[in-house]
């Protein structure tokens, strides 16, 4: 049996794409082995969000031929898309290059490569010309209780710092029926929680004309077996009274919203070409908390955007405390060639970015601890995922990690838990037997 190994860098969308390609190879008779092991084929799903991502991609691509010099090496994903022909110059070991489209053809390409005298292939083409969502599906049960379902591809926003629209192309939505069919299959396999993911989830349906994100959520909510629904990142502009009026009638929807921020300074937001102000963001936070008082609002913040003054950074520090965010993912700004921000004056030094990251990280820890403390003494519902030491860990609807001791196997079950304390980054609890 031919062996194949995968390595994935980057976001949840990349992870979904890898899983779908992996299933294609399994159906073709390949045995999937860990990346560190000897394999006949290696597929590296690349990321290009930062310069560090690019470097890690090149490192992992080169590593494969050291494990098996005779292997077939496939580079797919965002870095492969943006680098085009130059990726072959940078990593000459690559045999097949596939960007962010035509990934469903990789099995065929590998088989053709094996039978046609090892002719290198480059399938990277103009992603902006792609109009249709590329259908890829996950149909097998993995080890987790939560599973991602990709509903959308591409982005039309063109924020000044972001390379993603250039490597993922225009928004393309997956047909509603396809999303629902996959959700039903995964529910039948025993998954309790799904996460609707994509590059710009809020734009779902805009290119289809006969559906939107709210309608999709309503239909997914009706599927038996699915107990929880989460969404990837959305923007403040999506949170309207009409939006919340529908969502509050969906009890399966998790009380957790990843609400994109990037900066708490209006002048920085304007340079980023974001389509909201800090006041808009705060209004969305208040609207969400009005419907769900215990909602977790998490976010991303870019530190050291070109021209960010100390005063502007202080505005961000003040804002995240005022918004009482539950968790913040912090990213030092990384110049991406081809984006407007890369050409902006007053680029911030690595030293300043590192110092600001540390300051924001300290506030983030305090905010997260404060959010966790609010739950001590409360009863929560937890979906348990993994056995851990003498107990089990799982997550609440608002995405707090909880540990309990249990002699019974409670993996992949929803249980009522009373929170008794905190240990480092997780809540401690006791099962409530009902």
Indicate whether 241 belongs to any domain: no
Assess whether 121 and 8 both reside in one domain.
Answer: yes
Same domain, 367 and 384: no
Tokens of 92: 């000459």
Question: How many Cβ atoms are within 10 Å of 129's Cβ, its own excluded?
Answer: 9
CA distance 319 to 290: 19
CATH (domain of 175): 3.30.750.210
Residue 284 included in any domain: yes
72 and 182, same domain (yes or no):
no
Asked which of 110, 125, 140 is the last residue of a domain, the reply is 125
Answer whether 153's CB lies under 8 Å from 199's CB: yes
Same domain, 99 and 178: no
Owning domain of residue 311: 257-374
- Asked whether residue 244 is assigned to any structural domain, the reply reads no
CA distance 44 to 31: 16
Output the pTM of the full model.
0.94
| Helices within 248-309 (DSSP H only) | 266-272, 278-291
Give dist(CA 302, CA 284) in Å, integer: 20
Considering the domain boundaries, does residue 242 fall inside one? no
In a domain, 361, yes or no: yes
User: Can you tell me the distance from the alpha carbon of 329 to that of 29, in angstroms, rounded to the nearest whole number?
Assistant: 39
Check residue 1 and give its pLDDT: 86
Mean pLDDT for the chain overall: 95
pLDDT at 117 over 80: no
Residue 8 pLDDT more than 80?
A: yes
pLDDT tens profile 203-249: 999 999 999 999 999 999 999 999 999 999 999 999 999 999 999 99
- Does residue 368 fall inside a structural domain? yes
Q: Which of 357, 374, 391 is the last residue of a domain?
A: 374
β-sheet bridge partners, residue 259: 234
**Residues in contact with 135: Cβ distance below 8 Å, sequence separation at least 6, in sequence order:** 104, 174, 178
318 occurs within a structural domain: yes
Q: Which residue has the higher pLDDT, 391 or 114?
A: 391
Evaluate if residue 143 carries a pLDDT over 70: no
On whether both 326 and 362 belong to a single domain, the answer is yes
The CATH number of whichever domain residue 353 belongs to comes to: 3.30.750.200
| Spacing of C-alpha 26 from chain mean position | 24
pLDDT of the residue at 293:
96
Q: Within 10 Å of residue 94's Cβ, how many Cβ atoms?
A: 24
What's the maximum distance between 2 C-alpha atoms anywhere in the chain?
67
pLDDT tier at 144, thresholds 50, 70, 90: confident
- For residue 36, give the CATH number of its domain: 3.40.50.12160
Q: How many domains does the chain have?
A: 4
Among 97, 125, 153, where does a domain finish? 125
Q: How confident is the model over 147-186, as pLDDT tens digits?
A: 999 999 999 999 999 999 999 999 999 999 999 999 999 9
Q: Are residues 64 and 166 in the same domain?
A: no
Which H or E run contains 356? helix 350-373
Q: In what helix (H) or strand (E) does residue 380 lie, and over which residues does it extend?
A: strand 379-388
Query: Is residue 276 domain-shared with residue 204, that is, in the same domain?
Result: no
- Considering the domain architecture, whether residues 17 and 115 belong to the same structural domain is answered as yes
Asked, for residue 239, whether it belongs to a domain, the answer is: no
What are the tens digits of pLDDT across the range 396-421?
999 999 999 998 999 999 999 999 99
Question: Which pLDDT score, from 0 to 100, does residue 389 have?
Answer: 75
């Amino acid at each position: 049996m031919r062996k194949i190994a995968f390595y994935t860098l980057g976001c949840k969308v990349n992870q979904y794409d890898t899983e779908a390609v992996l299933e294609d190879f399994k159906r073709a008779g390949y045995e999937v082995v860990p990346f560190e092991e000897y394999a006949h084929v290696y597929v590296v799903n690349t990321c290009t969000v930062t310069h560090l991502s690019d470097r890690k991609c090149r490192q992992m691509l080169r590593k494969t031929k050291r494990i098996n010099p005779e292997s077939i090496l496939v580079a797919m994903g965002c870095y492969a898309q943006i680098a085009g022909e130059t990726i072959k110059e940078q990593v000459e070991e690559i045999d097949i290059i596939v960007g962010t489209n035509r990934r469903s053809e990789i099995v065929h390409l590998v088989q053709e490569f094996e039978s046609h005298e090892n002719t290198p292939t480059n399938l990277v083409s103009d992603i902006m010309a792609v109009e249709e969502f590329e259908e890829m599906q996950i149909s097998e049960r993995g080890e987790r209780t939560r599973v991602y379902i990709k509903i959308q591809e591409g982005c039309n926003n063109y924020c000044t710092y972001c390379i993603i629209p250039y490597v993922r192309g225009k928004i393309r939505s997956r047909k509603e029926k396809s999303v629902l069919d996959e959700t039903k299959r995964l529910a039948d396999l025993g998954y309790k929680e799904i996460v609707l993911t994509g590059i710009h989830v809020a734009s779902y349906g805009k290119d289809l004309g006969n559906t939107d994100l709210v309608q999709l959520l309503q239909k997914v909510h009706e599927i038996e077996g699915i107990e929880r629904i989460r969404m990837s990142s959305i923007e403040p502009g999506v949170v309207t009274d009409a939006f919340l009026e529908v969502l509050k009638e969906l009890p399966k929807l998790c009380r957790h919203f990843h609400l994109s921020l990037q900066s708490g300074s209006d002048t920085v937001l304007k340079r980023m070409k974001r389509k909201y102000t800090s006041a808009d963001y705060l209004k969305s936070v208040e609207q969400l908390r009005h419907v769900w008082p215990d909602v977790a609002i998490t976010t991303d913040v870019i530190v050291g955007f070109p021209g960010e003054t100390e005063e502007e950074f202080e505005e961000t520090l003040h804002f995240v405390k005022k918004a009482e965010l539950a968790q913040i993912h912090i990213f030092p700004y990384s110049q991406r060639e081809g984006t407007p921000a890369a050409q902006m004056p007053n680029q911030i030094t690595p030293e300043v970015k590192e110092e600001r990251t540390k300051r924001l990280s300290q506030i983030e820890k305090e905010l997260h601890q404060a959010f966790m403390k609010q739950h001590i003494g409360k009863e929560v519902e937890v979906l348990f995922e993994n056995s851990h030491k003498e107990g089990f860990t799982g997550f609440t609807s608002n995405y707090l990690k909880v540990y309990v001791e249990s002699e019974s196997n409670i993996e992949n079950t929803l249980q009522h838990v009373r929170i008794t304390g905190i240990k480092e980054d997780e809540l401690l609890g006791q099962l409530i037997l009902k």
